Amino acid sequence: MKRYKILFVCLGNICRSPAAHGVMQHLLEMEGLDHMVEVDSCGTYGGHQGQLPDHRMRRHAARRGYDLTHRSRPIEQRDFSECDMIVAMDEANARDLKRMARIDITPRLVMMGDYLSKGQPLDYVPDPYYGGPDGFELALDLIEDACAHLLVEIKTKLQQ
Ligand code: 4NP
């Protein structure tokens, strides 16, 4: 059976989306659902293609138990048709995705912020690339929170 496919997207695919990819993969493995759900990530910008996640994100994520080994890649047209759920980290990512897609992706495009708990300080995952360590911690806090809620929704979808 074809696995449900979820794709996390940010700008460079070296900070936020590979972190979300690693966190969600970890959650799925813990729940024994990785054989039913495939996770991937990519960027709307291809300038970091082939690179491992930013060393700062790798270090902060490793402290929480996530080993981030994804290699950055830009989004391709086939992602738009092959993925069941495309998760944008911020509004700019969503806008770029809609502009780039040659098909209507509205039914499968969701915002990471929509899965955050009400008490979170932001309703999107901000880009930590140009900031300090706190930005990476905040991004990971938000990503862990959103992924936990996303998992609940994916479980429901798998039962449908
Ligand atoms: P990301 O962060 O979108 O979370 O991977 C960024 C990485 C690189 C750049 C911007 C954001 N950049 O401009 O190179």
- pLDDT tens, position by position, 1-30: 799 999 999 999 999 999 999 999 999 999
C-alpha–C-alpha distance, residues 128 and 134, integer Å? 8
C-alpha–C-alpha distance, residues 84 and 154, integer Å? 10
Report residue 147 as tokens.
């992924």
- pLDDT tens, position by position, 96-145: 999 999 999 999 999 999 999 999 999 999 999 999 999 999 999 999 99
Ligand 1 nearest atom to the CA of residue 12, by list position = 5
Going by pLDDT thresholds of 50, 70 and 90, the confidence category of residue 156 is very high
Please name the amino acid found at residue 12: G
Location of structure tokens 């309703």 = 123
Is 16's C-beta closer than 6 angstroms to any atom of ligand 1?
A: yes
92 Cα–ligand 1 center, Å: 12
Nearest Cα to 47, choosing from 79, 94, 11? 11
Phi, psi of 76 (to 5 degrees): -120, 160
Report residue 93 as tokens.
């990512």
Ligand 1 nearest atom to the CA of residue 93, by list position = 3
Question: Which of 8, 9, 13, 15 is the pocket-test mutation for ligand 1 (most atoms within 8 Å of CB)?
Answer: 15
Rounded average pLDDT over 147-151: 98
- Average pLDDT over the chain, rounded to whole? 97
Q: What is the CA radius of gyration of the chain?
A: 14
Q: 127 an active-site residue?
A: yes
125 Cα–ligand 1 center, Å: 12
C-alpha–C-alpha distance, residues 68 and 62, integer Å? 8
